Amino acid sequence: MFNFIIKRLLAMIPVLIGISLLLFFMLRMLPGDPAQVLAGQMASVEEIETIRRQLGLDRPIYEQYLLYLSRLAHLDLGRSARTQNPVIEEVWARLPNTMLLAVAAISMACLFGIPAGVISAMRPYTWVDYLVTMASLFGISMPVFWLGIMLVVVFSVILKWLPAGGTGSWQHVILPSVTLASFVVAFIARMTRSTMLETLNQDYTTTARSKGLKENVVVVKHALKNALIPIVTVVGLQFGLLLGGAVLTETVFAWPGLGRLVVDSILARDYPVIQGTILIFGLLYILVNLAVDILYAVIDPRIRYD
Amino acid sequence: MIEATEKGVCPPPHEFSTDTGLRRFCFKLRRNRAAVAGGIMLLIYLAAALLAPLLVQGDASAPNLMMALETPSPKDPLGTDELGRSILGRIIYGARVSLLIAVGVVAVGLFIGVPLGLVSGYFGGKIDFAIQRATDAMLAFPGFLLALALVSVLGVGIKNTMISIGISMVPQYIRLVRACVLTVRSEVYVEAARAAGTRDGMILWRHILPNVMVPITVQTSLSMGTAILFAAGLGFLGIGVQPPTPEWGTMLGSARNYLFHAPHVATFPGLAILLAVLSFNLLGDGLRDALDPRFKI
């Protein structure tokens, strides 16, 4: 297991290099002087010069890239052109908010998506199944920001039950996480349904039934347990969608997370923060996929990574 | 995002090259009521986009402040926005923008992704390795975030929205086409063409490409829905299509400021997005089911 984790960590290196290349050239693709771009429009000549020296812009391009990598390794993502704070601090301050939203949304999505998929698969081609299937298709097609707005209209404007935005209490978390969970729940329900349809028709399920086990036990202990691997894969993959969705959801609910930070930075052309936030998003996505791989071994003892 | 690959849509080669295969496919598609409904809805959107100047009187972007934030009435069936413009008129004109973006995005994805996928799968070796590692790096970013990063470099506007979202979809096309090429590459007719001395370019164009067209079609239908969703998202954030161009997401972005006084302004553009994306997804699902019933999800 330990060896497997090390192997997976090593396999991350090429992807990380790819990400760093992408972000490095992203800045070089912009018209004009990268030092000026990074320093922002209000920067003084001295500030621009300092950044030019830090980036080594007078040196060959490969040296500039190596310098960039060594700064990344020291977690030096530069300073925000707007606030002059180190980017890593800005990102760090908002990361917990985004994680809170993401974890709440994923938990909610599993809580509703898995049972919906199971029920759907237990009664295939009945009205319950069609209802779940249609609801998931609507969920996938729904613009997440529009759902957020509609939830605000109903629960904040008309009913006045929940706050329309901001942070501070558990009530503030409900609407954003429901919004964010909406399309993930649809994917999880679809995947659960299709894998459960397969496992419910397997020989071991028939054996379990013929032993006289109760239907609930057959479904949960025999069929669902075996269907978990594809479901976990989908949950892991959806985490990426969730990060994309977080950008929109955080904007709707004025939630101070990474998503809003990146949008505000794009609007203000604050490139160090854009680069830093997108890097962190990429890292988070890779780490979640790693966690999913490790989870496989926990869920399915047949999988051995030696 | 729904991907054709995850459901293993690659059909056995030649399955649809005969008339009977095609007829069976059309029959299956017609029997799928959801797919037909999706197709009909798309035709309505297309008609609205093409006939917009006939359906909407006057300029959909011209402000009329005397009529600002009116609720739905016989004159303006969906009400007016903060500048007094007819919401229905702007939704109809918005169909032009959104469909244009969807087509543009898919064109970018196909134009870059298909040749790279073909080359990667057909030649293998170092080229394949290089293309696949680049794809890995791009896939390390969730699609919407990649589009967001690209917009931050390219800037706002319809053209840049198309390019950014299009590029963010390239990796999926590469993966899909490569996977299909790998199944077709060792077929007898490819071997025969090679033995006859046909050039690689010709083999790719005449023998391999026609056999990967079917999964590409499915992916294209699904990608168009995603493209509309992404473009609306960028417009909503204020970094996509810019006002006064009528785009559904941009309309929602400005409607957000009037939620407490006029919630109807935000309701209808969102419904327009939902139904358009739903239509593409229904049609895409239907196409996939007609191609391979084993993967009905």
DSSP A224: I
Give the C-alpha separation, A266 to B148, whole Å.
Answer: 9
Looking at residue B5, its pLDDT comes to 45
Give the C-alpha separation, A188 to B236, whole Å.
Answer: 26
Please judge whether B252 and A149 are an interchain contact, meaning their C-beta atoms are less than 8 angstroms apart: yes
What does pLDDT average to over chain B?
A: 85
Contacts B297 to A, Cβ<8 Å:
190-191, 193-194
Give the C-alpha separation, B133 to B54, whole Å.
Answer: 50
Could you give the angle at the alpha carbon of B222 between the alpha carbons of B123 and B151, nearest 5°? 80
Q: Residue B142: name the closest of A5, A174, A98, A48 by CA.
A: A98
Please judge whether A194 and B145 are an interchain contact, meaning their C-beta atoms are less than 8 angstroms apart: no
| Helix, coil or strand: residue A113 | helix
pLDDT digits (tens, 9 = 90+) for A144-183: 999 999 999 999 988 989 998 888 888 899 999 999 998 7
Name the residue in chain A with its Cα closest to that of B129: A14
User: Span A50-58, mean pLDDT?
Assistant: 78
> What is the nearest CA distance from A82 to chain B, expressed in angstroms?
16
Residue A88, pLDDT above cutoff 50: yes
Q: Residue A280: name the closest of A2, A19, A53 by CA.
A: A19
Residue pair B122/B200 in contact (Cβ under 8 Å)? The answer is yes
> What is the nearest CA distance from A306 to chain B, expressed in angstroms?
25
**CA dihedral for B28, B31, B35, B40, sign (positive or negative):** positive
Please judge whether B260 and A157 are an interchain contact, meaning their C-beta atoms are less than 8 angstroms apart: yes
Looking at residue B294, its pLDDT comes to 45
Residue of B138, B140, B153 with shortest CB distance to A286: B140
pLDDT digits (tens, 9 = 90+) for B244-281: 889 999 999 988 888 888 888 899 999 999 999 999 99
> What is the nearest CA distance from A3 to chain B, expressed in angstroms?
23
Please judge whether B232 and A143 are an interchain contact, meaning their C-beta atoms are less than 8 angstroms apart: yes
- Please check whether residue A25 touches B, CB under 8 A: no
Looking at residue B101, its pLDDT comes to 95
Looking at residue B292, its pLDDT comes to 63
Q: pLDDT higher for A257 or A53?
A: A257
Point out which residues pair with A79 in neighbouring strands.
A86
- Please check whether residue A141 touches B, CB under 8 A: yes
Give the C-alpha separation, B61 to B83, whole Å.
Answer: 9
pLDDT digits (tens, 9 = 90+) for B24-81: 778 877 888 888 999 999 999 999 999 988 888 777 777 888 877 878 888 888 888 8
**CA dihedral for A216, A218, A219, A224, sign (positive or negative):** positive
- Please check whether residue A159 touches B, CB under 8 A: no
Contacts A263 to B, Cβ<8 Å:
148, 237-239
Contacts A14 to B, Cβ<8 Å:
133, 136-137
ipTM: 0.85
Please judge whether B277 and A141 are an interchain contact, meaning their C-beta atoms are less than 8 angstroms apart: yes
Please judge whether A146 and B273 are an interchain contact, meaning their C-beta atoms are less than 8 angstroms apart: yes
pTM given for the model: 0.87
Task: Count CB neighbours of B284 within 10 A.
Answer: 25
As given in the structure block, the two tokens for residue B247 are 């785009």
For an interface test with B, give the residue of A27, A28, A140, A193 to mutate (most B CBs within 10 A).
A140
Residue pair B12/B180 in contact (Cβ under 8 Å)? The answer is no
pLDDT digits (tens, 9 = 90+) for A262-288: 998 888 888 888 888 888 888 888 888
Residue B8, pLDDT above cutoff 50: no
